[in-house]
Structure 1
Amino acid sequence: MRLDLTTLNLVLAIEQTRSITRGAEREHLALAAASKRVSDLEARLGVQLFERRARGVEPTEACRALVRHIRSLHASLHALESEVMEFARGIKGHLRIAANAGSIAECLPADLAAFSQAHPQIRISLEDQTSAEAQAAVAEGRADVAVFTAPLLDNRLQTWIYRPARLAVLVPRAHALARQETVSFEALLDYDLIGLHAGAAAQELMREQAQARGRTLNARLQVRGFDAIAQLVEAGLGVAVLPEAPAERFAKVFEVKRLRLSDDWAQRDYVLGVARQERLPTVVQRFVDALCPGHQEAKAPTAPIKTTR
Structure 2
Amino acid sequence: MRLDLTTLNLVLAIEQTRSITRGAEREHLALAAASKRISDLETRLGVQLFERRARGVEPTEACRALVRHIRSLHASLHALESEVVEFARGIKGHLRIAANAGAIAEALPPDLAAFSQAHPQIRISLEDQTSAEVQAAVAEGRADVGVFTTPLLDNRLQTWNYRHGRLSVLVPNRHALSDRSSVTFDDLLDHDLVGLHSGAAAQELMLQEAMARGRTLKARLQVRGFDAIAQLVEAGMGVAVLPDAPARRFAQVFDVQRLDLDEAWARRDYVLGVARQERLPTVVQRFVDALCPPPAK
In 2, distance between residues paired with 1:215 and 1:102? 25
Alignment of 1:134-173 (within 5 A): 134-173=134-173
Which string of whole-angstrom CA distances, capped at 9 and with x for unpartnered residues, describes residues 275-298 of structure 1?
Answer: 1122211111110111111469xx
Displacement, 1:230? Answer: 0.3
* Alignment-derived partner of residue 185 in structure 2: 185
Letter in 2 for 1:86: E
* Counterparts in 2 of 1:247 and 1:210: CA distance versus 1, 3 Å: same
SS at 1:177 equivalent: coil
Offset, 1:79: 7.0
- Mapped to 2, the partners of 1:78 and 1:152 lie a distance apart of 27
Q: CA RMSD in A?
A: 2.7
| Matched AA of 1:204 | E
Partner letter of residue 138 of structure 1?
A: V
Letter in 1 for 2:223: V
User: Aligned residues, how many?
Assistant: 240
**Residue 34 of structure 2, aligned match among 45, 50, 69:** 45
2-side partners of 1:151 and 1:184: how far apart? 22
Shift of residue 149, structure 1, vs aligned partner: 0.2
Deviations 1:120-176 (A, max 9, x none): 111111111111111011111111111000100011111111110000000001111
2:112 paired residue number: 112
Kept in 1, the 8 Å contact 2:75–2:142? The answer is no
TM-score normalised by the chain length of structure 1: 0.72
Within the alignment, does 1:241 sit opposite 2:235 as a pair?
Answer: no
User: Deviation per CA, 1:14-47, whole angstroms, max 9, x where unpaired?
Assistant: xxxxxxxxxxxxxxxxxxxxxxxx7x74441149
In the alignment, does 2:263 pair up with 1:263?
A: yes
Secondary structure at the aligned position of 2:286 is classed as helix
Residue 3 of structure 1 deviates from its aligned partner by 7.5
Distance in 2 between the 1:129 and 1:148 partners? 9
2:88 is paired with a residue of what secondary structure? helix
Structure 2 equivalent of residue 292 of structure 1: 292
CA distance in 1: counterparts of 2:276 and 2:236, whole angstroms: 46
Task: Give, in whole Å, the separation in 2 of the partners of 1:111 and 1:280.
Answer: 20
Task: Report 1:1-309 matches (<5 A).
Answer: 41-46=30-35, 81-294=81-294
Does structure 2 conserve the Cα–Cα contact (< 8 Å) formed by 1:171 and 1:233?
Answer: yes
Which one-letter code corresponds to 2:237 in the other structure? L
Q: Give how far 1:238 is off.
A: 0.2
TM-fit CA distance, 1:113: 1.1
Q: 2-side partners of 1:77 and 1:152: how far apart?
A: 27
Aligned sequence identity (%): 77
Q: Deviations over 1:91-120 (max 9, x none)?
A: 111111110011111111111111011011
TM-aligned CA deviation for residue 74 of structure 1: 11
Indicate if the aligned counterparts of 1:197 and 1:223 stay in contact, CA closer than 8 A. Answer: yes
Structure 1's 101 and 178: CA in aligned 2 closer, same or farther, altered over 3 A? same
Asked if the contact 1:289/1:295 (under 8 Å) is kept, the reply is no
Higher-Rg structure is 1
* AA at the equivalent of 1:107: A
Residues 150, 271 of structure 1: 8 Å contact kept: yes
1:268 Cα deviation after fit: 1.5
Are the counterparts in 1 of residues 194 and 239 from structure 2 also a CA contact under 8 Å? yes
Equivalent position amino acid for 1:148 in 2: F
Deviations 1:36-85 (A, max 9, x none): xx7x74441149xxxxxxxxxxxxx99xxxxxxxxxx9999887655322
TM-score, normalization: structure 2?
A: 0.74
Counterpart residue number, 1:27: none
Cα distance, 1:262 vs structure 2: 0.8
